[in-house]
Amino acid sequence: MEVYFPAVYVEQAELESYDGVAPGKYTAGLGQRRMAFCGDQEDVVSISLTAVKRLLEKYDIDPRDIGRLEVGTESALDRSKPLKSFIMALFAESGNYDIEGVDSVSACYGGTAALLNAAAWVESRAWDGRYALVVAADIAMYAAGPARPSGGCAAIAMLIGPDAPLDLERGLSASHMEHAYDFYKPAGLYPLVDGKSSLACYLMTLDRCYARFAPESERVGPGLAAHPLDAFPADPAAFQAWSYANRGLEVAALRASADAYEALVAPSTGLALDVGNMYTASVHASLGALVEREGAALEGRRILMYSYGSGLAGTLFSLYARHVAGPFTLARLAASLDIRARLESRRRATPAEFVAAMALQEWRYSAAGYTPQGAPSELRPGTYYLTQVDALYRRFYARREDHDV
């Protein structure tokens, strides 16, 4: 796997001061330290190209060995042309045009849908013996106001095949799908968000998935705790409706679970704290950060993954970390990811720079006939960037080399 995020960020504490809100509103309230953001020379295509190219180079993957490419995103640039089609440019030099798969669009869940599709292909009679490649990429942006600090940006590329160090246990999963208007993008650059409803939908979906997942987990180990609603048999539906909106109960639950959270969940949240909202890449990029942190120490352990996308879709699934021979050991993955070093090497932008970047994104949204203002020198070597959008809305890209200034 390979994780990409921009080389610039804004401090949430400084953004609090700039916006004139109470100290802690973004840091303690949202649980954020820093937020990554893009200049106009980067977009969802460029970050995807960078993640895929770095993955292929780091692990010396022949582009001809990829037989399926699945993409999850909710930052599409076109209502017809898939993001996957842009990424296919990386396979043109090798002459590999025989790659199945297109985009999955389902809010933050799209990356998980792409992962499950790719795994199903490898396990099916349709598999031709080649790897599948999954890309989850998004740029989260919000209009000026209370939601803006919950933005972010990242892309992750994941190689899918047999004998992997992270085994997707297909018998250990549970999903919940339902219609809701908690977060959606009917028009324009920014989403419409019902924050309270979205939180309730997230918790409800997790609740439903857990109820189905827990009995299945007993087949492979000690099992998970009994479903919390078992203690409320009289009217569980009424209890759910009350609990998802009850702030007092939420605070009590947070206190009661604090130690378990720090031991079992917090080790995987560091990247999100420093990058922000990554939409479809969120849960998978956090997995990458966990792999870098733990490496071979993960072997023999299970990782419980919960992926939720507004609208709504959710899946709770299990990964089993195991020792494997060959080039894709957990130790090698950990050594190759270099997430922490890249986080520490980023440039800290001022809140004013961040606001100006958002204003430029708004101005350029759906525009044609322009050249980005941002310079390649602002990017890390090896990063793809947008060079031009022509009068016909066609987008062109280049890669920054070590000598570019």
For residue 139, list its beta bridge partners: 153
CB atoms within 10 A of CB 111: 33
Q: Which pair of tokens denotes residue 356?
A: 């100006």
Alpha-carbon gap, residue 133 to 167, rounded angstroms: 15
Q: Which pair of tokens denotes residue 313?
A: 């879709």
- From the number of C-beta atoms within 10 Å of its C-beta (0-12, 13-18, 19+), residue 19 rates as middle
With beta carbons less than 8 A apart as the criterion, state whether 397 and 391 touch.
Answer: no
With beta carbons less than 8 A apart as the criterion, state whether 357 and 40 touch.
Answer: yes
Catalytic residue among 108, 153, 201, 209: 108
Any idea which residue has 């997707």 for tokens? Answer: 168
Helix axes 351-364, 12-19, angle to 10 degrees: 80
Q: Which residues participate in the annotated binding site?
A: 198
Helices marked H in 5-66 — which ranges? 12-19, 44-58
Any idea which residue has 């909202």 for tokens? Answer: 277
* Nearest-10 Cα torsion for 15, 258, 168, 54: 30
Quickly list DSSP for 215-263.
HHHTTTSS-PPPPGGGG--S-HHHHHHHHTT-HHHHHHHHHHTHHHHHH
3-class state of residue 100 by DSSP: strand
Any idea which residue has 């908690």 for tokens? Answer: 182
Catalytic residue among 38, 74, 201, 209: 74
2 included as an active-site residue: no
74 included as an active-site residue: yes
Non-local (6+) Cβ contacts of 205 within 8 A are: 176, 178, 308, 312, 313, 314
Q: Which residues participate in the annotated binding site for CoA?
A: 198
Q: Which pair of tokens denotes residue 398?
A: 């280049």
Any idea which residue has 């100006």 for tokens? Answer: 356
The catalytic residue positions are 74, 108
